[in-house]
Amino acid sequence: MKKLLILSGKGGTGKTTVAAAFASFSGARALADCDVDAPNLHLVFGELPTPRSTDFMGGDKARVNVEKCLGCGKCLEHCRFGALSFAGDKAVVNEYACEGCGVCAQVCPAGAVTLLPDLAGRQELYQGERVFSTAMLKMGRGNSGKLVTKVKLDLLKYAPNCPLAIVDGSPGIGCPVIASVGGMDLVLVVAEPSPSGISDLERLVKTAESFRVKLAVCVNRWDMSPENTEKIEAFCLRQGLPFLGRLPYDKSASLAINRGLSVADVDCPLREALKELYGKALVLLELGKN
Ligand code: SF4
Ligand code: SF4
């Protein structure tokens, strides 16, 4: 199985538009959405079968038994994360601030604090005509890299014989991106033609290069700034990175997404540019153009 990961330096650059179009062109039967903070690839797949859902447990969080709490305030004094406060005369934990260090449980004279595993998200696996692995992390939870790895592992486990897997990655260069890059055969970076887009691209390339994966670049909405598009092409030339193409701004993209479709389902200039891009990506993946 060849694995193609689509990344961007930040959200809103069109990464999922590209991933959804590629999925449609290829008829890919192996797909994953590793953007666990805001997964949205499923929105263009129409009706999906009921997924197999699995709880994703993060680290521990403190819970206070108010029946036992004496209101002494020792836990507040010792919590380095400011995760405890009083509600009336009882201690309460802010689940978003608690790091699960357990100090409060140790200092509590009443044994009122327990540490319990935290439900940090949910993993979903759709198995129908295609295998689609995705997940959603709860707001304010860490461990996104661990969840991304689980999403990838499920894809490999349940769709082992598919010739091509398409993975929509997380935006940025953080933990989930690093977790998604490992083991990929090609990372396609969707860049935005703006000064911040160029800087994002440079940082992302630096991050991905340390994993020694094959990288390629395209520019979305290139016509918004031909000058910056040229700068990105020049950067790719200097770095020896294949530049796969320019995608035009096309309002059909948002119209298609609003109707729950991929751009690949709509006859428009962007579709044609994406098709060409897809063909070039297949060549880099040594799958030939189909
Ligand atoms: S240390 Fe224990 S008893 Fe004291 S306020 Fe905290 S939870 Fe309540
Ligand atoms: S477990 Fe640690 S971080 Fe969480 S409330 Fe207790 S002392 Fe604070």
Tokens 């903070």 sit at which residue? 37
pLDDT of 153 > 60? The answer is: yes
Residue 93 beta carbon below 6 angstroms from any ligand 2 atom:
yes
pLDDT of 75 > 90? The answer is: yes
By C-alpha distance, which of 185, 110, 145 is closest to 34? 145
Q: How far is the CA of 208 from the centre of ligand 2 (A)?
A: 35
By C-alpha distance, which of 248, 177, 195, 184 is closest to 218? 248
pLDDT of 237 > 80? The answer is: yes
Ligand 2 atom 8, closest CA:
79
Angle (CA) 275 40 192, round 5°: 55
Residue 103 beta carbon below 6 angstroms from any ligand 2 atom:
yes
Ligand 2 atom 6, closest CA:
104
Return the HEC string of 26-90. HCCCEEEECCCCCCCHHHHCCCCCCCEEEEEEEEEEEEECCCCCCCCCHHHHHCCCCCEEEECCE
pLDDT of 67 > 50? The answer is: yes
**Of 74, 86, 115, best ligand 1 pocket probe by most atoms within 8 Å of the beta carbon:** 74
**253, 267 Cβ separation under 8 angstroms:** no
Give me the helices (H) in 97-184, please: 103-107, 144-158, 175-181
Looking at residues 184-207, what average pLDDT do you find? 91
Q: How far is the CA of 143 from the centre of ligand 1 (A)?
A: 28
Categorize the per-residue pLDDT at 162 as very low, low, confident or very high, splitting at 50, 70 and 90. Answer: confident
Categorize the per-residue pLDDT at 142 as very low, low, confident or very high, splitting at 50, 70 and 90. Answer: confident
Ligand 2 atom 2, closest CA:
101
Ligand 1 atom 4, closest CA:
72
Residue 104 beta carbon below 6 angstroms from any ligand 2 atom:
yes
For residue 88, how many other CB atoms are within 10 A of its CB? 7
Categorize the per-residue pLDDT at 267 as very low, low, confident or very high, splitting at 50, 70 and 90. Answer: confident
Q: How many helical (H) and strand (E) elements, i.e. helices and strands, does the chain have?
A: 9, 11
What secondary structure letter does DSSP report for 138?
A: P
Q: What is the mean pLDDT of the chain?
A: 89
Question: Which amino acid is present at 173?
Answer: I
The per-residue pLDDT for 288 is 64
**265, 24 Cβ separation under 8 angstroms:** yes
Report the predicted TM-score, pTM, of the whole model to 2 decimal places.
0.85
pLDDT greater at residue 259 or residue 135: 135
What secondary structure letter does DSSP report for 223?
A: G
Ligand 1 atom 6, closest CA:
75
Ligand number nearest CA of 66 is 1
Q: How far is the CA of 140 from the centre of ligand 1 (A)?
A: 25
For residue 86, how many other CB atoms are within 10 A of its CB? 12
**218, 246 Cβ separation under 8 angstroms:** yes
The per-residue pLDDT for 250 is 86
In the chain the domains, ranked by start, together with CATH numbers, are 2-49+128-284 (3.40.50.300), 57-119 (3.30.70.20)
